[in-house]
């Protein structure tokens, strides 16, 4: 990167954060970015469109933390899981649950882990949080239990491979659209 450009600098400016934000301020700011697919499915696309998915928002968080908080040792994880309608109702509300077939759908969720209080903890910024994260409490993932896979050196590519193996786009796309709409109608806040 040339000219002193950093992910942290770009995000701090876009989010209106102080010049030297705390770790929890950065996590809360990335979480506050509304859920939805950006036109360009990259961290830069998420900043430009000011919306992102689990993949783009967590990669953005990892890149910003690499610049500001390398000691947090952020890593991305992809979870392959089955979402049933009752779980979708509990997690996302009736609009998103209505888009889940009765037999469920298989999805791949990306989240981050980082060192918090000396231990590796999950950090999920997919949706704006109902309450600001305090920087130390464990975060609840926005998906049910499943099989975790390391994101590796190229998390977007590793996720694409898992998606090709496990997801049915004909089932998944209506769910993403409903989830985006549900996120908007809820004021983009999830517990």
Q: pLDDT, tens digit, for every residue of 9-24? A: 999 999 999 999 999 9
In this predicted structure, the answer to whether residue 5 has a pLDDT above a threshold of 80 is: no
Reported for 12-15, long-range contacts at CB under 8 A and 24+ positions apart, including other chains, are 14/47, 14/50
DSSP-derived secondary structure for the chain: --TT--HHHHHHHHHT--SS--HHHHHHHHHHSPBS--SS-SHHHHHHHT-B-HHHHHHHHHHHHHHH-GGG--EEEEEEEEE-HHHHHHHH-HHHHHTS-TT-EEEEEEEEEEEETTEEEEE--SS-BSS---SSSPPPPSS-S-EEEE--S-HHHHHHHHHHHH--HHHHHHHHHHHHHHHHHTTT-B-
pLDDT of 58 reads: 97
Tell me, what's the pLDDT at 191? 33
Domain positions in the chain: 7-185
Does 40 have pLDDT greater than 90? no
Q: How far is it, in rounded angstroms, from Cα 59 to Cα 54?
A: 8
> What does the pLDDT look like over 140-189, one tens digit per residue?
999 999 999 999 999 999 999 999 999 888 888 899 888 888 777 655 44
């Amino acid at each position: 990167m040339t000219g002193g450009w950093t992910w942290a600098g770009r995000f701090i400016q876009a989010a209106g954060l102080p010049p030297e934000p705390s770790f929890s301020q950065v996590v809360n700011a990335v979480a506050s970015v509304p859920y939805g697919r950006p036109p360009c499915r990259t961290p830069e696309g998420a900043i430009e469109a000011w919306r992102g998915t689990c993949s783009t928002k967590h990669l953005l968080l990892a890149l910003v933390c690499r610049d500001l908080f390398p000691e947090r040792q952020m890593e991305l994880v992809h979870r392959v899981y089955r979402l049933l309608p009752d779980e979708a109702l509990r997690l996302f509300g009736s609009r998103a649950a209505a888009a889940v077939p009765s037999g469920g759908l298989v999805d791949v969720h990306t989240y981050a882990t980082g060192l918090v209080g000396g231990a590796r903890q999950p950090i999920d910024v997919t949706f704006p949080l109902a309450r600001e994260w305090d920087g130390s409490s464990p975060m609840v993932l926005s998906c049910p239990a499943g099989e975790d896979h390391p994101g590796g050196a190229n998390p977007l590519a590793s996720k694409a491979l898992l998606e090709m193996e496990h997801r049915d786009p004909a089932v998944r796309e209506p769910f993403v659209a409903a989830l985006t709409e549900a996120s908007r109608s809820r004021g983009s806040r999830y517990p």
